[in-house]
């Protein structure tokens, strides 16, 4: 897909928002982030508030774009990972080459090998900044430029919290976007490893969606699927199965509705659902198999622990029952006493 061209001189917030939306649809998340970021800055400056109603949708898609950008860069096949792998490979080659060169110098110079292997000399005091009180670049980043140190997920969380406040203030008119914002916040928590918070936000958004959409909503089906993923990641297998089953139910209801209406315009969506439903069924099957495996492992662990205890007890009991040496010795001693009574001392 072709990237969306973004004019850095553009100061029209509406145009920037439109460009950001196009970039988001085309999955050009980097451009989308830059467009939404600038649009939000312009709108906040224009209205003198970062929680003005006009910023709600901008923040929502700004946060969604940041989330997708973070996933793209940190995923198994993300560009960032590939770049890091290449850089690490180059670094290893350089280090290996330097090591061989250093080793060669040590062998040639003999007694001087220590001097040759020394790292470059540190800069003297003359190379230090003239003003010792001036903070270093690291200290500057920790202070005035702390925003640059925030990750995409952290920025996404902050702007979505602002969007949440705006949509709450809209009342009933903001429920749909509020639900979506909560679900995206849940996805961010999931990416950050905060599973309980992710489940809480997704459930809250789902409850709002249930009041807005019918029993054949693909939106709710998608949310249930995300919730199932959050539960499974948090090792709540039963809850995950329940959520995936609910997703399957909503999708099948949607398929039945479309087939009943029998409109040509719905043909593509019908085929899409027919491909999607088996995937959800497979997910349910995987979760059920996982539950069985976990149960087997637990039972196996219990079985392995019990024989050791019982076996030890039986062995001890058997030893006690079979060991009659003390009785034999005592009997022999008594028999000897009867056959050879002690002689009386002679008078």
pLDDT in tens, 76-120: 543 333 334 344 444 444 445 455 544 444 443 444 443 433 333
Output the six-digit token pair for 264: 């040509």
Rounded to whole angstroms, the Cα distance separating 158 from 185 reads: 10
Rounded to whole angstroms, the Cα distance separating 59 from 52 reads: 11
Rounded to whole angstroms, the Cα distance separating 200 from 189 reads: 10
- Average pLDDT, integer, range 266-295: 94
So what's the pLDDT on residue 327? 44
Rounded to whole angstroms, the Cα distance separating 70 from 30 reads: 10
Rounded to whole angstroms, the Cα distance separating 79 from 76 reads: 9
So what's the pLDDT on residue 8? 79
Task: Enter the pTM of the model.
Answer: 0.68
B/e letters for 8-21, b = 16+ CB within 10 Å, e = fewer, are eeeeebeebbebbb
Q: What is the mean pLDDT of the chain?
A: 77
Q: Is the dihedral of CA 175, 177, 182, 187 positive or negative?
A: positive
So what's the pLDDT on residue 7? 80
- Average pLDDT, integer, range 150-159: 94
Asked whether residue 148 carries a pLDDT value surpassing 80, the answer given is no
Asked whether residue 137 carries a pLDDT value surpassing 90, the answer given is no
So what's the pLDDT on residue 307? 59
CA Rg value for the chain: 36
So what's the pLDDT on residue 247? 97
Domain boundaries, the chain: 7-80+152-212, 215-316
Q: What confidence tier does 138 reach under pLDDT thresholds 50, 70, 90? A: very low
CATH class of 7-80+152-212: mainly alpha
Asked whether residue 295 carries a pLDDT value surpassing 80, the answer given is yes
CA dihedral 179, 184, 188, 191 (to 10 degrees): 120
Rounded to whole angstroms, the Cα distance separating 273 from 279 reads: 10
């Amino acid at each position: 897909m072709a990237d969306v061209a973004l004019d850095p001189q553009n100061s029209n917030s509406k145009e920037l928002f439109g460009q950001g939306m196009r970039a988001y649809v085309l999955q050009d998340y980097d451009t989308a982030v830059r467009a939404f970021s600038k649009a939000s800055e312009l709108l906040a400056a224009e209205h003198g508030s970062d929680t003005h109603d006009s910023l709600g949708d901008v923040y929502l898609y700004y946060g969604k774009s940041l989330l997708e950008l973070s996933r793209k860069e940190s995923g198994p096949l993300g560009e960032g990972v590939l770049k890091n792998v290449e850089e690490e490979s180059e670094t290893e080659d350089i280090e290996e080459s330097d090591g061989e060169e250093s080793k060669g110098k040590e062998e040639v110079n003999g007694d001087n090998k220590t001097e040759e292997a020394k790292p470059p000399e540190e800069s003297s005091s003359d190379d230090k900044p003239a003003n010792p009180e001036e903070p270093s670049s690291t200290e500057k980043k920790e202070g005035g430029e702390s925003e640059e140190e925030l990750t995409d997920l952290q920025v996404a969380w902050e702007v979505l919290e602002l969007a949440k406040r705006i949509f709450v203030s809209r009342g009933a008119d903001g429920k749909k976007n509020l639900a979506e914002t909560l679900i995206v916040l849940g996805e961010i928590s999931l990416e950050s490893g905060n599973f309980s918070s992710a489940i809480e936000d997704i459930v809250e958004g789902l409850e709002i969606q249930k009041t807005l959409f019918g029993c054949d909503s693909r939106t709710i089906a998608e949310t249930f699927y995300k919730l199932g993923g959050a539960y499974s990641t948090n090792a709540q297998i039963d809850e995950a199965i329940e959520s995936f089953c609910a997703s399957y139910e909503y999708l099948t209801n949607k398929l039945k509705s479309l087939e009943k209406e029998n409109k040509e315009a719905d043909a593509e969506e019908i085929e899409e659902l027919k491909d999607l439903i088996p995937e959800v069924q497979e997910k349910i099957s995987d979760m059920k198999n996982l539950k069985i495996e976990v149960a087997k492992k637990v039972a196996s662990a219990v079985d392995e622990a019990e024989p050791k205890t019982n076996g030890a007890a039986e062995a001890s009991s058997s030893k006690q029952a079979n060991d009659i040496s003390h009785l034999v010795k005592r009997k022999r001693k008594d028999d000897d006493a009867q056959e050879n009574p002690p002689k009386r001392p002679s008078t």
